[in-house]
Amino acid sequence: MSTATATPPAVPEEIQSFTVTLIIRRFNPEVDAEPHWEDFDVQLYPTDRVLDALHKIKWEQDGSLSFRRSCAHGICGSDAMRINGRNRLACKTLIKDLDITKPVYVEAIKGLPLEKDLIVDMEPFFDSFRAVQPFLVSQQAPKDGKERIQTVAQRERFDDTTKCILCAACTSSCPVFWTDGQYFGPAAIVNAHRFIFDSRDDNAAVRLDILNDKEGVWRCRTTFNCTEACPRGIQVTQAISEVKQAMVRGLK
Amino acid sequence: MPQQSAETLASQQKTTSRRPAGTLYRGREGMWSWVLHRITGVAIFFFLLVHILDTALVRVSPEAYNGVISSYQTPIMGLGETALVAAIVFHAFNGLRIILIDFWNAKYQKVMFYVVIGLWVVTMLAFVPRHLMNVFSD
């Protein structure tokens, strides 16, 4: 097995590969009553990602392993999972950044219904996203039928929250969301923030009204798990507290 | 049927062989400060509940009230009071931290967490020795 793969093109120094143990939380709804842990040994380079390890397992060891991934480059937001107890994108987590002297634990994100292996039902997550009207609502027509113009400062105001890829790493890292599925969750609030503070948008009051609820922004307990989990580096908790402040003090 | 139960048994055995319920989420300062805040909050709630009940007893029977209060004058209760003050001091300082996060700036939450821990240590250093001297002197 190793002889077949260990023939890289002539590189100055051969890069060393390691045997990494992955312990994956498996669940097959047709067979299992409960999820269980299964381990796999994979030969990997330090520059490989956790997603590469999952591919190797699926392609070479166990084709029944199920997970989502689309672009594999940190943009589509399909492969958020819990890696060593923290929500990460499998395609953005390098093996060299993990402690490979110990097994790497991989499991599905928490708080959403588990469907199979690393796949969860994302529908409740998208429902909250839809509920905050994540689109531009403008009452007046653009000037001269052209684009709606913004100053650099006006664009800067919501720049951070435009980066969201809807991977659910933040929402499924939130202890409040785990126990209270009714909570909108950080991702929905981030996407509301993106339009609330957009100078071209006219529906901020409606969105603030939707989120000014027991299950809205006031459910946030500032654990900062979302900020720490976000693969795009969005300051999620900061965005949530800005929405809270807008409710108390009004929009500036 | 028997086959199915054997299967579920096997999967359960597999489940119990490792940590079954998934790994504990490895949050950082923010999550642990919230966990502590919740634990101390619930503990303080139950203290207040008992405290209101024993204080209300004075209207029922002053003798019973005196009896209950004197039963508190033990070293074990003294240590309990230390734990109570520790919980309240943490809850109070961390509560101020949360207010600042929400209405000032979330950027400094980690620094503010260590400030909270620092203030807690200083307050407890000032309180605990004096309190324990009182508890154990007579």
pTM, whole model, 2 decimals?
Answer: 0.85
Provide the 10 A C-beta neighbour count for residue B12. Answer: 15
pLDDT tens digits for A94-131? 999 999 999 999 999 999 999 999 999 999 999 999 99
Nearest residue in chain B measured CA to CA from A221:
B34
Q: What pLDDT score was predicted for residue B63? A: 92
Query: What top-level class would CATH report for the domain A123-249?
Result: mainly alpha
Q: What pLDDT score was predicted for residue A140? A: 85
B63 touches chain A (CB under 8 A): no
- The enclosing H or E element of B14 equals helix B2-17
Contact state of A223 with B12 under an 8 Å Cβ cutoff: no
pLDDT tens digits for A33-90? 999 999 999 999 999 999 999 999 999 999 999 999 999 999 999 999 999 999 999 9
A173 touches chain B (CB under 8 A): yes
A2-120 CATH: 3.10.20.30
Residue type, A73: H
Q: Which residues, 6 or more positions from A17, have their beta carbon under 8 angstroms from its beta carbon? A: A6, A43, A44, A45
Whichever domain contains B68, its CATH number is 1.20.1300.10
Flag whether B14 is in a domain: no
Q: Is residue A192 over pLDDT 60? A: yes
Nearest to A184 by CA among A194, A137, A100, A176: A176
DSSP A133-191: --S---SSPPGGGSPPP--HHHHHTTTGGGG-----TTGGG-HHHHH-TTS--HHHHHH
Q: Which parts of chain B register pLDDT below 70? A: 1-21, 138
Q: ipTM, 2 decimals?
A: 0.83
Q: What pLDDT score was predicted for residue A14? A: 80
Burial of B58 (0-12, 13-18, 19+ CB in 10 A): middle
Flag whether B8 is in a domain: no
A102 touches chain B (CB under 8 A): no
Q: From residue A168, how far is each of A80, A235, B35 by CA, in Å? A: 7, 15, 22
Looking at the structure of chain B, the number of domains it has is 1
Contact state of A222 with B103 under an 8 Å Cβ cutoff: no
A221 touches chain B (CB under 8 A): yes
Q: What pLDDT score was predicted for residue B4? A: 43
Name the DSSP letter for residue B93.
Answer: H
Nearest residue in chain B measured CA to CA from A105:
B23
Domain that holds residue B84: 28-137
Q: In chain A, where are the structural domains located?
A: 2-120, 123-249
